[in-house]
Amino acid sequence: MNTHSVIPVLGLLVVASPAVLLAVLGLPLLVGFRLSEQWQSRLTKASVLTGLLAATGILATMLISGSRQEVVELGHWVAIEHEHEHFHFHINFVFDRLSVPFLMLTFVLCGTVGAFAEVYLHRDAGYHRFFLLYALFLLGMVVSALAGTIETLFFGWELVGLSSALLVAYFHQRPGPVRNGHRVWTTYRIADAAFLIAALTMHHLTGAGEFQKLMGSGAWPEGVANIGFWQASLVGFLLLIAAAGKSGMVPFSGWLPRAMEGPTPSSAVFYGALSVHLGTYLLLRVSPLLDVSMPLRIAVIGLGLTSAVFGALASRVQSDVKNALAFASLTQVGIITVEIGLGLHYIALVHMIGHVCLRTLQLLRAPSVLRDHQMLENAVGEHLTGDEVATSRSSSPGQLWLYRFALQRGNLDELLDDWIVHPFTKSFRFFDSLERRWTNLLSGGNSRTSDTLSPYGDSLEDVH
Amino acid sequence: MTVLETCEESNATTTDKTADSQVLHWIHQAAHFLPSQGPIEVFVHHNTLHAFETESFHDAVRAGHDRYGAEPYLSEPEYRRLCAAGRITDDELECVIVRDLGESCNNAISELGTRFDIRFAMLRHAIYVGPDAELRWIIAETDTLERFRETTTAINRGRTISASKKWLRNCKQNPHPVRNVESLLNKFRANPDKWSDLEWESFSLHLLWRVCLGGVGAFRGKARQRQFVRPRDLLLHATGEDTDRYVHDMLIRFCAAYVDQGYSDWILPNRDQGFFESFLALFSDATPGTASWLRGLHDELSTLRAGNVSAASSIEASLSELGIAEGDREEFITQSLLSLRGWAGMIWQLESGVDWVVHSIPTGSLVGMLAIQLILEKCAIRHVGAQVFEEYSSVQSILQLAGDRVHDPKPLTVERSAFLLFQVAQMLGWTPLELARLTELEWQKLSQEVESFPSLERRRIFHEAYERGYRHAALDAFATHAERLKAIQPAWGSGRPAFQIATCIDDREESFRRHLEEVQPACETFAAAGFFAVAMYYRGAADGFYKPLCPAVITPDHYVQEDVGYSFEGIHRDRAALRRTLGLASRAFHTRSRTFLGGMLAGSVGSLASVPLVARVLFPRLTARIRQRLGSFLQPPPVTNLQLERYAEAPGPTNGHIGYTTDEMARVVVRMLEDMGLKNTNSFSRLFIICGHGSSSLNNPHESAYCCGACAGKRGGPNARAFAQMANDWRVRGKVAAHGIKIPDDTVFVGAYHNTCDDSVVFFDLDRLPPSHRAEFESARESIEEARRRNAHERCRRFSSAPLNISQDDALRHVEARAQDISQARPEYNHATNALCVVGRRHWQRGLFLDRRAFLNSYDPSQDDDEHSILARILAAAIPVCAGISLEYYFSCVDYRTYGSGSKLPHNLVSLLGVMEGTSSDLRTGLYQQMVEIHEPMRIMFVIESTPAAMLSIMERNAAIARLVRGGWVHLAVIDSTTSEIQVFQDDRFQPYHVGSTAITFASSSLECYQGSREHLPFFSIKEQLGPFDQ
């Protein structure tokens, strides 16, 4: 049995296991059948374990055979050749030094968090929904990690985005989570738009979406981009926006703390750890572009540095555990981005994996902070934050500014609101008013009865 | 001139002052409505509705509903489900209605039925009443007017249809008894003779509906006028924009920073100056990029700052600017504070009550918070006004515009009343014919009768019946069981018990004691409040600080410290130093991992975190063992002593002042023994175990709520240990003997600690156990080992993740894993299902299966004096504490969103003193959903072995007890153990209770009672066993 026959089988298994899980968890719900908690958790475990074992098998095979890159083809789905115009849509999965560690990390963490959530969410009304979204997330992560073409990556990327937003809004009985889930979703859309344009541009430039066409044929990270400076810069900047949105880097950082609305395990693994690193993963994947375009490299370093500093500042004033950890994650994501910008690919990869593990553990143990604090105080024998009851220190205007800046989280949400959201809604309201003018004219009066409806018309209580 | 000016000025200041003090007064009044839970580190169960405790229970829950918008009882569908399941029976409903209506029960309403009939029908059948839109939908879109309701009996169906037929015949002779009869007939086929049954059914219902509508329409019901005290509510209803969203987002972040106990790295600047001052200092500078709704903020703040305006004056100004009418101001302030009640409550607690936090806050903080809240509210209103109305001028004009926009659609008052009658008519078989004959006055009376029994009232009746069922079953069981036990001698006959054990009164110890008595019938068990009268500040060998170990209402005078044995002093010092080093390193790692460079370093070695991550989640029990093994090199050496004896005059935390004098010790011992009724020399066994309790769980900010309530939410082991040491002291025994209690020389006390989560029991100071008592101890330990295994097994039936056929060993492993599992949201069920508190001797209740639902308190009335002083002091603690636990569970259970702290799943620890839901929410107080999910929300019933006279005299003397009992917050019954007669306190007096059923199921063991069931169980009487281990 040679590697050429083993790898496609294992590769398929890796992708199929979460896809099958999604189908098995989702389809019964569609026909109104609810699996028991026990069965859901068994299926989830089986799927994650299969995926992990297959991924380990691939790693072992590759180590033994010394292969550095393996591509599993799922065929050409669309191939249009028409004189000068041609379009290929083509699905393949790449196993290399970048994707295999990330893939295994995904399986290990998702598996652990799945085991955690199985107990933690026991008897919760949304248990089914959680594990369905979990399967969706896992599939998205696996597809994104392995994607060999930009379309495949986009597909996985969207699944991750969708499941993340829905998990943020997990507690949909309360307005806060829904609003924040919505915010996460819209922020992702901006990133997705940039991503989509980048994909189109790539197709336009190379005729296909394979990263190999863009990066050259060398195995990661040795690929050499075989496109020109301008093309590389254009695609690179678009992808940088996409990565910034997904990883919550400046100026998109506002969604990161908002994502802490979900149940602790989903906050932990999804936003605190995996999902937030997807942007940096994308940058690693297309890192050869940086070699071609210096401005792009500078932009990557600049963005990473800004995000890191911002995250470090904001993290210092957060009084609650989850927000502090969310901003701490941002700091590290920023630093990892800087490392990518500097071309330290392996360091970035190691840093990423290390950070993901550490942060997941910290977030899962977030409710223990009070006990840890007491334990440490007992060990040290004094109050860790000083015994003084009142601190009478005057603060300079600069300190006040910095504190205000950090407490208000740099007003980044407001920045986005002012520069993106408001122009957007304003233009649509303008069109709406045009339409209203026309309909009023045609109906000869007020054409919209909904205007007069009160948003909370009826009292909902029957008790007097 | 100058004189005049000053005069005016001072005038102005005095009016200002009175206005200020008025504002302060209102805020203090409003503060009573805030949750009174302090920092989560010390979780004290208390009555959630303490603000309404002077009222009766039913009035108070209604007041809570009006004030907080919280549910007063379970929901109606839930009660109906309980009816269907047989938990609430018709008999009980009948009894409760009759009791409630009293004389007027049989008053007939317009000859259609009695008040009782109407109410009973409304309880038995679901009544649909929804908002207007739903009502409209039900009438227009569902088959309500086509088909009878499912629960309508065949007789009533037939009656209604034949009456309709008759009516139609009459109608031809005598046209127009009902308006628009043509339009009704037009809906059906022309010839009624050819109508099918279904058509007749539909016609009858349409007719019935029109008759009801016409009847109710004849007199106009009154429409409710909505009043908005807060501009926020007005804007929300007018525009759908919630200004609280803006205000709270900002305020929550600032509150969290303000009260932070050391989580964040940067301390809020100027925090010590107060909320208002610190906020002013931080936000009075203009910052580019400020959120658009805050753009006017810094101007206003800098004006306030420049004018040196106080928080109260600022509130006064805001009230005027918001246009709050003078009469509404107190209500407005209350509602404003309640809109963020968790944070406001915490700030109020920190400034007024809790003095033990590391970082305290200055008084006046709540006033400052309200001032800031109102300033922010004005900003938010201006912002919404600008957005929605494009109105930029003043808050008043925006509110004016909003007020113009709110136009309530015409409420369907008539239709609502008619629909209610329409439903009741079907249930009671009122025919259109009968109804059409009613006069306007009769209609009014009928409608009023039905309306006077709205959902809230129905739920109250349901709730009374729900409690009554359990209460009567319990009283029957007590009476029957006590009667049966009268004939039975204790297993130790006239000799001494094999050993004696005293536990806490906690409901979780009920099963532990029961199992112990089953394992070793010759053992005798007692219970007393788990601090065992040792109120102390305690510092363990590995602790940094003294922590109070006594009920939260007591401030201890004494300090006790755990010392390491002299020969281990060196090791101890080394280990303490090592702990300190590791602690500092660990602290550095935790906080630095959130920073820039530290995070980088931590991140690069972070892959190592995957090991504990995976291990702790997948193998919690194994990991815990390994951690314990490794940790044992860090823990203090195994041999420690309590520094318990003091020679200096005054008690204090410093060396020499630590501990108790022998006189004080003797007082503690006498008090405990008297409480337990142990005054005779021959009632002591050779071995007496004192067992404190606590609970340990991981990843649980509410851990303190699981521990011993009598030890301020901490673990009560040291109290038991201290008590045993005191009672073993010969000098103390001498002084105790002077009080008339002679403890036999061969009685040895041993302290122990029971962990209610993993069911482990550890013993203290066994090295000091005389060899003469080893055998007794070993045998007792064996019994306790077996009892804890059985206890774990009984507990597992409630955990759906443990199979019902689990073995005892696996059960023990299961509960151990639960305690060590970081993913476990319910390490144990704590006090959930608590429903009873028994105060009395064990000999008449022993062997009664109480399903872990009862607090048990030892008390021997035969040892008490004429003043009932022992009972009075036991109840002074037991009634408020048990009532507090019961009521906290009650309220968190009936409305876990408002009274409780929501779901545990998104909890987010904030400022090291509370939890928020998700990323930013109000501070959540009360118990969370997972903690109360199996609870039956009922008021606790006290069954006290005493006389009505004694209880009345105690209630006379103790206002707190009287308030709880007379207000119906708790139920009270007294039992005479010799006659097994019970009297219950009802309608403000004791009334004899007539035992309903003396049939109690017998069981050979506890296992037989609970095996195979996860539900709440009935009472069982467990047959006595002959000797140990012979089941």
Q: Three-state secondary structure along B611-631?
A: HHHHHHHHCHHHHHHHHHHHH
Q: What angle do CA B631, B634, B639 make, to 5 degrees?
A: 105
How many Å lie between the alpha carbon of A206 and the closest alpha carbon of chain B?
37
Q: What is the pLDDT of residue A269?
A: 78
* Cβ–Cβ below 8 Å for A414 and B292: yes
Which residues, in sequence order, are CB contacts of A246 under 8 Å at separation 6+? A157, A161, A188, A191, A275, A276, A278, A279, A282
Separation between Cα atoms, residue B950 and residue B315, nearest integer Å:
52
The strand order across the sheet containing B640-643 reads B547-549, B536-539, B558-564, B640-643
Please, how many CA atoms are within 13 Å of residue B14, restricted to the half-sphere of its CB? 5
Average confidence score pLDDT of chain B: 89
Interface of A with B in 276-295 (CB under 8 A): none
The answer to whether B803 contacts chain A (CB < 8 Å) is: no
Separation between Cα atoms, residue A241 and residue B470, nearest integer Å:
64
The answer to whether B989 contacts chain A (CB < 8 Å) is: no
- Sole residue written with tokens 């521990």: B707
pLDDT tens, B380-413?
999 999 988 887 778 889 998 888 887 666 667 7
Among A122, A358, A383, most B C-beta atoms within 10 A, so best to mutate, is: A358
* Cβ–Cβ below 8 Å for A331 and B595: yes
Separation between Cα atoms, residue A88 and residue A82, nearest integer Å:
11
Indicate if ipTM > 0.85: yes
Among B42, B268, B574, B610, most A C-beta atoms within 10 A, so best to mutate, is: B610
pLDDT tens, B804-857?
999 999 999 999 999 999 999 999 999 999 999 999 999 999 999 999 999 999
How many Å lie between the alpha carbon of A65 and the closest alpha carbon of chain B?
26
Interface of B with A in 214-233 (CB under 8 A): 224, 226
How far separated are the first and last CA of chain A, in Å rounded?
78
With cut-offs at 50, 70 and 90, classify the pLDDT of residue B10: very low
Nearest chain B residue (CA) to A116:
B823
Question: Cβ distance A327 to A314 under 8 Å?
Answer: yes
Separation between Cα atoms, residue A464 and residue B14, nearest integer Å:
43
- Which amino acid, one-letter code, is at B507? D
Question: Cβ distance A376 to A384 under 8 Å?
Answer: yes
Q: What is the pLDDT of residue B795?
A: 96
The answer to whether A425 contacts chain B (CB < 8 Å) is: no
Which stretches of chain A drop beneath a pLDDT of 50?
389-390, 457-464
Q: Which of A223, A359, A350 is nearest to B610 (CA)?
A: A359
Chain B residues close to A101, C-beta within 8 Å: none
pLDDT tens, B693-731?
999 998 999 999 999 989 988 999 999 999 999 999 999
Chain B residues close to A272, C-beta within 8 Å: none
Question: Cβ distance B717 to B694 under 8 Å?
Answer: yes
Interface of B with A in 916-975 (CB under 8 A): 916-921, 930, 933
Q: Which of A144, A57, A71 is nearest to A102 (CA)?
A: A144
Which residues, in sequence order, are CB contacts of A426 under 8 Å at separation 6+? none
pLDDT tens, B509-549?
999 999 999 999 999 999 999 999 999 999 998 888 899 99
Is B288 or A324 the better-scoring residue by pLDDT? A324
- Sole residue written with tokens 């009902």: B178
Question: Cβ distance A137 to A262 under 8 Å?
Answer: no
Separation between Cα atoms, residue B604 and residue B609, nearest integer Å:
11
- Which amino acid, one-letter code, is at B915? V
Give the distance, in angstroms, between the CA of residue B69 and the centroid of all CA atoms in the same chain: 16
Interface of B with A in 386-445 (CB under 8 A): 405-409
Chain A residues close to B903, C-beta within 8 Å: 124, 171
Looking at B569-689, list the stretches that DSSP marks H as alpha helix, in order from N- to C-terminal side.
569-592, 596-604, 610-618, 620-631, 662-675
How many Å lie between the alpha carbon of A255 and the closest alpha carbon of chain B?
11
Question: Cβ distance B478 to B975 under 8 Å?
Answer: yes
Which residues, in sequence order, are CB contacts of A415 under 8 Å at separation 6+? A251, B289
Chain A residues close to B224, C-beta within 8 Å: 459
Q: Which tokens in the block code for residue B873?
A: 């002091």
Chain A residues close to B701, C-beta within 8 Å: 367, 370-371
How many Å lie between the alpha carbon of B42 and the closest alpha carbon of chain A?
12
* Cβ–Cβ below 8 Å for A351 and B907: no
Among B413, B539, B596, most A C-beta atoms within 10 A, so best to mutate, is: B596
Taking only Cα atoms into account, the Rg of chain A, rounded to an integer number of angstroms, comes to 24
The answer to whether B635 contacts chain A (CB < 8 Å) is: no
With cut-offs at 50, 70 and 90, classify the pLDDT of residue B1030: very low
**Residue B899 clears pLDDT 70, i.e. is over it:** yes
Separation between Cα atoms, residue B193 and residue A159, nearest integer Å:
64
Lowest mean pLDDT among A291-300, B133-142, B762-771: B133-142
pLDDT tens, B814-829?
999 999 999 999 999 9
- Sole residue written with tokens 């790898």: A7
How many Å lie between the alpha carbon of A297 and the closest alpha carbon of chain B?
21
SS3 state at B307 = coil
- Sole residue written with tokens 């980044």: A412
pLDDT tens, B208-257?
888 888 888 776 655 556 678 899 998 988 888 899 999 999 999 999 99
Interface of A with B in 173-202 (CB under 8 A): 174, 176-177, 180
Nearest chain B residue (CA) to A318:
B264
Separation between Cα atoms, residue A438 and residue B345, nearest integer Å:
54
The answer to whether A254 contacts chain B (CB < 8 Å) is: no
Separation between Cα atoms, residue A346 and residue B886, nearest integer Å:
59
Which residues, in sequence order, are CB contacts of B321 under 8 Å at separation 6+? B378, B394, B395, B396
* Cβ–Cβ below 8 Å for B226 and A351: no
Chain A residues close to B355, C-beta within 8 Å: none
**Residue B952 clears pLDDT 70, i.e. is over it:** yes
Separation between Cα atoms, residue B550 and residue B355, nearest integer Å:
16
Nearest chain B residue (CA) to A407:
B253
Q: What is the pLDDT of residue A456?
A: 56
Interface A:B, Cβ pairs < 8 A: 343
Of A118, A176, A347, the CB nearest to B921: A176
SS3 state at B528 = coil
pLDDT tens, B333-370?
999 999 999 999 999 999 987 778 888 899 999 999 99
Q: What is the pLDDT of residue B1028?
A: 38
The answer to whether A457 contacts chain B (CB < 8 Å) is: yes
The answer to whether B283 contacts chain A (CB < 8 Å) is: yes
Beta partners for A92?
Answer: A73
The strand order across the sheet containing B923-924 reads B907-910, B914-917, B923-924
Mean per-residue pLDDT, B581-599: 80
Among A417, A452, A463, A464, most B C-beta atoms within 10 A, so best to mutate, is: A463
**Residue B12 clears pLDDT 80, i.e. is over it:** no
The answer to whether A69 contacts chain B (CB < 8 Å) is: no
Interface of A with B in 73-102 (CB under 8 A): none
Q: Which of B693, B793, B919 is nearest to A256 (CA)?
A: B919
Mean per-residue pLDDT, B145-156: 87
Q: What is the pLDDT of residue A453?
A: 64
Q: Strands B907-910 and B914-917, how do they pair? A: antiparallel
How many Å lie between the alpha carbon of B411 and the closest alpha carbon of chain A?
8
* Cβ–Cβ below 8 Å for B266 and A456: no
| Count helices and strands in chain B by DSSP H and E runs | 38, 23
Q: Which of B112, B118, B138, B121 is nearest to B215 (CA)?
A: B112
pLDDT tens, B113-131?
899 999 999 998 888 877 7
Chain A residues close to B239, C-beta within 8 Å: 455
Q: What is the pLDDT of residue B13?
A: 52
Q: For the whole prediction, is pTM greater than 0.90?
A: yes
Among B457, B617, B619, most A C-beta atoms within 10 A, so best to mutate, is: B617
Taking only Cα atoms into account, the Rg of chain B, rounded to an integer number of angstroms, comes to 34
* Cβ–Cβ below 8 Å for B821 and A119: yes
* Cβ–Cβ below 8 Å for A361 and B408: no
Q: What is the pLDDT of residue B939?
A: 96
Q: What is the pLDDT of residue B7?
A: 43
Q: Which tokens in the block code for residue B481?
A: 């069981």
* Cβ–Cβ below 8 Å for A379 and B582: yes
Please, how many CA atoms are within 13 Å of residue B279, restricted to the half-sphere of its CB? 30
- Sole residue written with tokens 């962990």: B755
How far separated are the first and last CA of chain B, in Å rounded?
102
The answer to whether A385 contacts chain B (CB < 8 Å) is: yes
Q: What angle do CA B696, B698, B703 make, to 5 degrees?
A: 55
Separation between Cα atoms, residue B404 and residue B383, nearest integer Å:
18
Chain B residues close to A363, C-beta within 8 Å: none
Chain B residues close to A355, C-beta within 8 Å: 599, 602-603, 606
Q: Which of B859, B567, B560 is nearest to B717 (CA)?
A: B560
How many Å lie between the alpha carbon of A216 and the closest alpha carbon of chain B?
30
Of B824, B912, B930, the CB nearest to A370: B912
* Cβ–Cβ below 8 Å for B801 and A122: yes
